[in-house]
Structure 1
Amino acid sequence: MSKLLWNILKFSPVVVAATLSAAGSALAGEVNGGVTSVNQLAQGQQSENIGQVTSVSQFSDVQPTDWAFQALQSLVERYGCIAGYPNGTYRGNRALTRYEFAAGLNACLDRVNELIATATADLVTKEDLAALQRLQEEFSAELATLRGRVDNLEARTAELEANQFSTTTKLVGEVIFNLSDSFGDAQAVRSSQLINNTAPRNADGSLAKRDLDSNLVFSDRVRLRLNSSFSGKDQLQIRLQARNTISNSGTTGTNMTRLSFDGDNGNDVVIDKLWYRFPLSDALSVKVDANSGEFYDNMPNFNPDLASDSRGSIGRYARFSPIYRQGSGGSGATINFAPKNGPISASIGYLAGGGGRNVGNDPTDKNGLTDGNFAAIAQLGFQPSKNIGLGLTYARTYQNSSVVGGGVNQFDSTGSDLVNRPFGNVPTTANHYGLQANIRASEKIAVGGWVGYADMEAQSGAGIAGKDATAFYWAANLGLRDLGAKGSLLGITFGQPPKVTGNRYKIGGVRQIDADTSYHLETLYRMQVSDNIAVTPGLLVIFNPEHNDQNDTVYVGTLRTTFSF
């Protein structure tokens, strides 16, 4: 066997095979991962191609002491048919398939033909040509297959170019179908009514509770996202939404029973969200929210398994710390600093408007970008290892009572009625402090949680201005991935929703604080039926709703089915 044959057998490059692999990967996976145009696909393929080298010294992982050095040197310098990867490596120890061998052989054959055509055939011996001819005959089937794969790839690329939705935009859809019902002896009485003794009473002085008369309901939520990219690194998102999932609070008497994905607009299609994110450097990025901005979407919230309202928690409180709900619904910007593989990250953000609806663009008094409701947030994240994440978060907020359809709502309806309006519906400032953690014990087991504190102050009102109040909340959770089946998730959350722990404001001499403590217990199991369908049965239990033990325990059962496409 000739020297060339021996060298090819041992060190044949993988030029065509690697190119096909990169292109196939791009078509099969990268389009789903954010490629929005055929131009990007072509650029991605080009960046993955293996480059021809002119000297074996160009390989960073090939040393003169390697046993294959001379053979590689011969193939490179004599025939010029050895190629390397873009990062300057040869990867000589990786396994070689018959397809890859055929691809390398084809590259050498092409190179030999070039040498002959340019009158340098003296470099190629008859023995070499005979050996190459035998190899070409032996691998004719593989070479034909490779040619077929190239032709097929070109046809698929042409079809994509002809039928793509847009050269810059990708359409992503999500649909939720949900069955839900609430159970319990009676509706909860609002904490403010219990504290101020304004709740209806029976003749014997006991609470005149209303029966918890709930029916099984079926509801839906539909979202279509138009994700556009103009540079390959930025993203503009327009989200369309229609939904009819009514809040459970009207039936149960407390916001503590709200579902994570509730909301009702009569299934009318609206532009629910509009934002643009772009990088300033490899570590620095900016996200601008034109409407419906939410900090929990803009920065790490340290609850990766349960934060999603379509695939994670079924209850509103269990998704993440309420500190990330400050300013929800507003307009503004968030800046994230996250060095690759660095242990420290940082985020700052500002949202104006919020409340019941976005009013950051309203020029009327107390409804503008700088003179109305706002939330400013700063977060420092620590990740000493890939399995540990910690976050320290601070938010400064102002909420006034003139927001149409909204008003003061300190914790975005995740706690008691009193904690969201500790002084009634009057302008309120607050300092919020939060500590969040997520620890992954293994690839399938994670524990996490959060603790938060807030001090609030009334800004106006006779006998109210200057009064202050404090609030406290916490939660712990457990996530078990791939339990029973790949892609499944068992999630359990237990905690105390926000409650007023201190308040200098009194009504009729009664200090406005939550009397007892509510507890939120939630368990769910997400079954991944297929890549595009997940079914999640879940149970939410609220003990002592509205932080008062005179209220009966309330249960909410759900069966959420999520379709993604």
Structure 2
Amino acid sequence: MSKKSACFSLKSVANYKLMIALTTLISASPAQAQINVMDIDNQESMGQVTSVNQLSDVSPTDWAYEALRSLVERYGCIVGYPDRTFRGNRALSRYEFAAGLNVCMQSIERLIGTGGVGEEDITALRRLIAEFETELATLGARVDNLEGRVGFLEENQFSTTTKLAGEVAFTLADAFGGDVTNPLTGVREDFNAQATLTSRVRLQMSTSFTGNDVLFTRLTAGNLGNSFGSQTFTDEGRFAYDGQADNNVTLDRLHYYFSLTPKTRVFTMASLGGHHFYADTFNSGLESGGGAGGALSRFGERNPIYRLGLGGQGIGLRQQLGDSFELSAGYLARGGNNPADGRGLFNGNYSAMGQLVFKPSDKFKLGFTYINGYDPNGAGSAFNFGGTGTRFGNLQGLGLNGIPVSSNSYGVQGQLDISPKFSLRAWGGYTNARLIDTGSAEIWNYAAALVFPDLGKEGSLGAIIVGAEPYLTGLTLGGVDQTFTKDTPLHVEVSYKYPINNRISLTPGLIVLTAPNQDSGANDPIYIGTLRTTFSF
């Protein structure tokens, strides 16, 4: 018997029920040895049995009791399921029987040298070896073939520590509307947008050095730009995966995560830092981290306050506190790689976050978030919600350029999975922005989402999202309340991700902006329709 065959049987079969058949064929009558063989699809991890009495579903009255006891006590080749059952009525194939025979052969070979096996058993074993000679040879050939394939993969693989994943998204989209007001000229004009076919490509390498860490290195290219932002004059409704232009390839994500303790995870971000990379955002399936498989819009991915400070360098921490609580904390600095005065990690823009998560069950979780930020409002350091919200909500178009902003943001968000095919999510965010030596501003956002996993097909995802992207509700300058339009800019988004197969999915959807730039009088509703095709490899 070859060592390879024994190794294969131990790893791939380990099904002790066929040991009943082995002992039965050795010591039982021919009538008892008639076994109905069938393929077994599912196998579970088992453990070595040292006494037949450890098997809870085997009793001395069972016809195979003595056979089992013999295998345990004489040959030591019986194993049991984790729940200490034997499940002896389960059928097996000839190949599985041969693999089990192989296991006992190894044990018996060791006993032959010590005289622990009788001549009668040896004769019966020889008969079995002859009967299953073909199957035993096939098992050995399979192992040789597998070892050859593994050797080839090891010699030709990209890296022993790195996994490469790719994603390509084609987006066919168009936007429609009545009139919009150009904030640069103040002139109301016809909404004019053309149908587009755009793309975004990502290649991400995930490297582990210790088995408990991961280094993310991601290359991104695309030609979406700011979606239809130049035509709508607002960041509302921008696609979740836009931002890249002219198909220039950039190294947009460089992160390293590791576990400090079993309950403490550390996240270091040298490029494209974001609070959502280390903190729970309560929107699984739709929260894709900018990937092309989640929500259509940036707003639909998560509470926009998580986007404060997005794009810088920093560190995050996630700490488990018992079974029901989790604490996340982090610090980001846009321009943290720039040593110039007024930049760097601690002398320019920053965003510090703390979040407490309460998760009493697998179906419900609730989070409370606080973010303190500072934006000098210079080049590359302006206050903004990361490509979401109205112009006023991002403190644009108010004559505040160059005025530093110190902000405090508060968020409440939750997720309730009512059933495996229906989930309810909701969030609310409030930001109080202090305009240094000038005044203050109040900004709100909120949303509710109905999510339908496996809608019509396994792997699909339907979603309805209704809310308001960040919009300005109050502005005080020099102690005087300012007058401006405060219409609620509702965002309505409907999408349905349909998987063609495991690698290709189609996502048709529609985004409706009822009062762009929080001004229904100056802007008619805007409709953005899209068909996204995603390829994953």
TM-score, structure 2 length as denominator? 0.85
The SS at the match of 1:257 is coil
Indicate which of 103, 106, 112 corresponds to 1:107: 103
Tell whether 2:406 aligns with 1:412.
no
2:41 aligns with none
Q: 1:435 aligns with which of 394, 412, 424?
A: 412
Match of 1:20 in 2: 12
Q: Following superposition of structure 1 onto structure 2, how do residues 118-157 of structure 1 map, counting pairs within 5 Å?
A: 118=113, 120-121=114-115, 123-157=116-150
Q: Which amino acid counterpart does residue 428 of structure 1 have in structure 2?
A: V
Match of 1:371 in 2: 347
Quote the residue 1:319 is aligned against.
301
What does the per-residue CA deviation read over 1:428-453, in whole Å, with 9 as the maximum and x for residues that have no partner? 11111111111111111111111111
Aligned equivalent of 1:520: 491
Q: Judging changes above 3 Å, is the alpha-carbon distance between structure 1 residues 339 and 126 closer, same or farther for their aligned structure 2 residues?
A: farther
> CA deviation digits over 1:30-52, x for unaligned, max 9?
xxxxxxxxxxxxxxxxxx99776
In the TM superposition, what is the alpha-carbon distance from 1:521 to its structure 2 partner? 0.4
Structure 2 Cα separation of the partners of residues 546 and 161 of structure 1: 56
Q: Distance in 2 between matches of 1:421 and 1:400?
A: 13
Q: Which residue of 2 aligns with 1:492?
A: 464
The alignment status of 1:80 with 2:72, answered yes or no, reads no
Q: Is the Cα contact below 8 Å between 2:56 and 2:86 reproduced in 1?
A: no
Identical aligned pairs, as a percentage? 39
Please list the CA deviations of residues 470-502 of structure 1 after superposition, one character each: whole Å capped at 9, or x if unmatched: 221110111112222221111110001112222
Alignment-derived partner of residue 346 in structure 1: 327
Counterpart position of 1:182: 175
Question: The residue matched to 1:161 in structure 2 has which SS?
Answer: helix
How far is 1:64 from its partner? Answer: 11
Q: How far, CA to CA, are the matches of 1:70 and 1:374 in structure 2?
A: 74
Per-residue Cα deviation, 1:345-390 (whole angstroms, up to 9, x for no partner): 111111111xxxxx11211122110111111111111221111121
Given that residues 244 and 266 in structure 1 are in contact (C-alpha distance below 8 angstroms), is that contact kept between their aligned partners in structure 2? yes
Q: Residues 37-82 of structure 1: CA distance to partner in whole angstroms, max 9, x if unpaired?
A: xxxxxxxxxxx997767x449x9x6469955887655423322323
Does 2:416 match 1:445? no
Q: Per the alignment, do residues 513 and 186 of structure 1 end up closer, same or farther by CA in structure 2, a change over 3 Å counting?
A: closer
- 1:559 partnered with 2:536: no
Paired position in structure 1 for 2:372 = 396
2:297 is the counterpart of 1:297: no
Aligned to 2:206: 227
Q: TM-score, normalised by structure 1?
A: 0.81
Q: Which residue of 1 aligns with 2:165?
A: 172
Question: Does the Cα contact within 8 Å between 2:318 and 2:326 map onto a contact in 1?
Answer: yes
Q: For residues 468 and 232 of structure 1, do their structure 2 counterparts lie closer, same or farther at Cα, with a shift above 3 Å needed?
A: same
The partner residue of 1:532 within 483, 503, 506 is 503
RMSD: 2.7
Q: How far apart are residue 132 of structure 1 and its match?
A: 2.6
Corresponding position of 2:516: 545
Displacement, 1:142?
A: 3.4
- 1:202-217 counterparts in 2 under 5 A? 208-217=187-196
Work out the CA distance in 2 between the residues paired with 1:71 and 1:429: 79
Tell me the secondary structure at the aligned position of residue 318 of structure 1: helix
Matched letter for residue 319 of structure 1 = E
Counterpart residue type for residue 470 of structure 2: P
Give SS of 1:263's match: coil
Alpha carbons of structure 1 residues 51 and 180: separation in structure 2 relative to 1, 3 Å:
same
1:246 to 208, 225, 241: 225
| Aligned match of 2:436 | 459
The residue identity in structure 1 corresponding to 2:499 is Q
Out of 438, 441, 449, the position equivalent to 1:477 is 449
Q: Is the alpha carbon distance of 1:513 and 1:348 closer, same or farther for their aligned partners in structure 2, counting shifts above 3 Å?
A: farther
Distance (whole Å) between structure 1 residues aligned to residue 495 and residue 45 of structure 2 = 45
Q: CA 1:339/1:112 → structure 2, altered by over 3 Å: closer, same or farther?
A: farther
Q: Deviations over 1:180-236 (max 9, x none)?
A: 11101123454xx8xxxxx63xxxxxxx41211111111111111111111111101
Q: Is the 8 A contact 1:16 1:104 kept in 2?
A: no
Code of the aligned partner of 1:316: R
Deviation string, structure 1 residues 381-424 (Cα, Å, up to 9, x no partner): 1221111121111111111122x3x3323322311111211762
- Contact 2:331–2:350 (Cα < 8 Å) also in 1: yes
Whether the aligned pair in 2 keeps the contact of 1:282 and 1:339 (CA below 8 Å) is no
SS in 2 for 1:419: helix
**Which whole-Å deviations, capped at 9, do the CAs of 1:253-298 have from their partners, x for residues lacking one?**
2111211111133212121110100111221110100011111122
Closer/same/farther in 2, CA of residues 339 and 172 from structure 1, 3 Å limit: farther
Matched, 1:501 2:501: no
Three-state SS of the structure 2 residue aligned to 1:105 is helix
2:87 to 73, 88, 93: 93
Distance (Å, rounded) in 2 between the aligned partners of 1:323 and 1:151: 56
Change (3 A) 1:49 1:525: closer
Superposed CA offset, 1:306-328 (max 9, x none)? 11241111112111101211110
Aligned residue identity for 2:175: S
**2: CA distance, partners of 1:385 / 1:320:** 21
Q: SS where residue 256 of structure 1 aligns?
A: coil
| Structure 1 CA distance for aligned equivalents of residues 485 and 360 of structure 2 | 38
Shift in CA distance, 18/314, structure 1 to aligned 2, threshold 3 Å: farther
Which amino acid letter does the alignment assign opposite residue 338 of structure 1?
Q
SS at match of 1:77: helix
Corresponding letter in the other structure for 2:292: S
Tell me the CA shift for residue 84 of structure 1. Answer: 6.0
Amino acid at match of 2:532: R
Provide the rounded CA distance (Å) in 1 between the counterparts of 2:147 and 2:281: 43
* Structure 1 unpaired stretches of 5+: 1-13, 23-47, 194-198, 201-207, 354-358
Q: Distance in 1 between matches of 2:263 and 2:59?
A: 39
Aligned partners of 1:15 and 1:83 also within 8 Å: no
SS at match of 1:305: coil
1-structure distance, mates of 2:127, 2:484: 90
Instruction: Provide structure 2 residue ranges, at least 5 long, that are not aligned to the other structure.
Output: 1-5, 15-43
